[in-house]
Amino acid sequence: MSFISCGSIDDVKSFTGKLDSSVSGENSLAASSKDGLAVHYIDVGQADSILITQGNSSMLIDGGNNDDYKLVSEYIEKQGIKKLDYIVGTHAHEDHIGGLDYIINSFNVGKIYFPKQTASTKTYKDFVNSVKNKNMKFTLPVAGQSFKLGEAECTILAPNSGNYDDANEYSIVIKITYKNNSFLFTGDASSISEKEMLSKGYDLKSDVLKVGHHGSRSSTTTEFLKTVNPKYAVVSCGKDNDYGHPTETVINRLKKASIPVYRTDESGTIVAKSNGTDIIFNVQPGSYKPGTKKKS
């Protein structure tokens, strides 16, 4: 594991000393985070899985690929979590809902948010069956609605339509506000959804942006980035992934705006902690090096 610093960013504070992206490393960070908000961008390679805790409440946004089920469930267990108040499956792709069936089977679960979307894959069927077997139902996201995660407020910002050609556009987008800090979680929402969020006039401004669609050029449009105006960006993507994520287009936009980028492909699991005023990360920012493969 290597930590690559992109130079002098004065207002970025990092945990020093025991920088260890292993599960036990984050455990000790989380243990002291009960009073604040902790956001764990779990390293699931070319996929998304984000655990958020506030007080005794917790939420999991996406569960990585099918093969990540054990990694994600063990990570959650290591935080001492037995009940997930919320699970959010952002959309029907495997790299987001793959591990969720196992998670749903393994933990007490409050509500499961999932968009009105279907797929013909085994992954999707497994996911739906895990919900049925638990006698639960999906809660449909309604853009503009809010709910509480402990003392934090979660606002659903997308999807804003019910019919998209691109499955990624169905992605549930959530903004979490904890006192003076805010985090935006975008799933794989792309330019159409971003445009809709902008036109709805939502308060998109956030301190930390989970960069849409692993840094694909279909997301993080100039206008969206300008409006979110994040202090920090996080990219969840796999090392040397086949898609060339994060793309040069998006990385250059972030670089031009002097936004430090934290990357799971370079730093492993990234933990951001907020006390309501300041946000600190467990690692240094990553590089502005785009992915190299050209499939995206």
Residues that bind Zn ion (CB under 5 A): 95, 188
Which lies closer to Zn ion via its Cβ, residue 120 or residue 135? 120
Which lies closer to Zn ion via its Cβ, residue 50 or residue 152? 50
Whole-number Å distance between alpha carbons of 8 and 10: 6
223 burial level (CB within 10 Å; 0-12, 13-18, 19+): exposed
Whole-number Å distance between alpha carbons of 120 and 125: 7
Radius of gyration of the chain (CA): 17
CB of 168 to Zn ion, least distance (A): 7
Which lies closer to Zn ion via its Cβ, residue 170 or residue 178? 170
Which lies closer to Zn ion via its Cβ, residue 65 or residue 274? 65
Which lies closer to Zn ion via its Cβ, residue 95 or residue 169? 95
Return the residue matching tokens 């990624």: 168
Whole-number Å distance between alpha carbons of 189 and 132: 27
CB of 163 to Zn ion, least distance (A): 20
Whole-number Å distance between alpha carbons of 277 and 33: 14
CB of 150 to Zn ion, least distance (A): 27
Rounded alpha-carbon distances, angstroms, from residue 73 to 102, 216, 257, 273, 293:
8, 27, 36, 21, 31
CB of 101 to Zn ion, least distance (A): 17
CB of 27 to Zn ion, least distance (A): 27
CB of 118 to Zn ion, least distance (A): 17
Which lies closer to Zn ion via its Cβ, residue 188 or residue 196? 188
CB of 41 to Zn ion, least distance (A): 13
Q: Say if CB 12 and CB 234 are below 8 A apart.
A: no
Whole-number Å distance between alpha carbons of 225 and 244: 20
DSSP state of 14: B
Whole-number Å distance between alpha carbons of 8 and 158: 35
Which lies closer to Zn ion via its Cβ, residue 57 or residue 90? 90
Which lies closer to Zn ion via its Cβ, residue 26 or residue 95? 95
- Name the residue among 260, 219, 214, 261 with its Cα closest to residue 241: 214
- Name the residue among 209, 203, 280 with its Cα closest to residue 32: 280
CB proximity list for 256: less than 8 A, separation 6 or greater? none
CB of 157 to Zn ion, least distance (A): 18
